[in-house]
Structure 1
């Protein structure tokens, strides 16, 4: 995570045993962990995705409603564009 962008909490060699990597860090968006996962052909979910989904889930709980995943995806695209991480 910023400012330690050249470090990863997980050794890249350990990633090969997984299919998906999820990182909670969103600055920078493409952390070393995410980059290693993508280089290995793994699915990788960055921290910004997690942050937006967490906010959507909180809204669902507070407002007793369901937010369509299409809306969440659109918000994610807009936030990603705005932050230009």
Structure 2
């Protein structure tokens, strides 16, 4: 199963909050959190601790930027450069 958190729970300044208990996370193979500040939310930390694959909201942020670049320019974005810049910020 996959869990996708699309709420703001766990976002700055409420980084101590999580929308799902650690025990419940044991049911999921992959956990995605749309929150990107902080990059490694409590939800993602606890999901990793119970063995789930985790995907940060930063990844969504990057992929949206890549898609928008292509829509506006018709070309491919410099993914490595964009990823480097974004990851330096988060």
* Structure richer in helix, relative to its length: 1
Distance 1:75 1:15 in 2: 31
**2:26–2:51 CA contact under 8 A, matched in 1:** no
Tell me the equivalent position of 1:42.
Answer: 52
Q: Which moved more, 1:13-22 or 1:56-65?
A: 56-65
TM-score (structure 1 length as normaliser): 0.78
TM-score, scaled to structure 2: 0.74
Q: Aligned to 1:24, which of 34, 48, 56? A: 34
Instruction: Report how many aligned residue pairs link the two structures.
Output: 80
What is the Cα-based RMSD across aligned positions, in Å? 1.8
Cα offset, 1:61, TM superposition:
2.6
Taking the aligned partners of 1:3 and 1:49, their CA distance within structure 2 comes to 21
Q: Contact 1:48–1:76 at 8 Å: present in 2 too?
A: no
Stretches of structure 2 lacking an aligned partner (at least 5 in a row): 1-10
Indicate which of 41, 64, 83 corresponds to 1:76: 83
Q: Which residue number corresponds to residue 62 of structure 1? A: 72
Residue matched to 2:61: 51
Structure 1 unaligned residues grouped into runs of 5+: none
Task: Give the number of the structure whose residues are more often strand, by fraction.
Answer: 2
| Native 8 Å contact 1:7 1:32 kept in 2 | yes
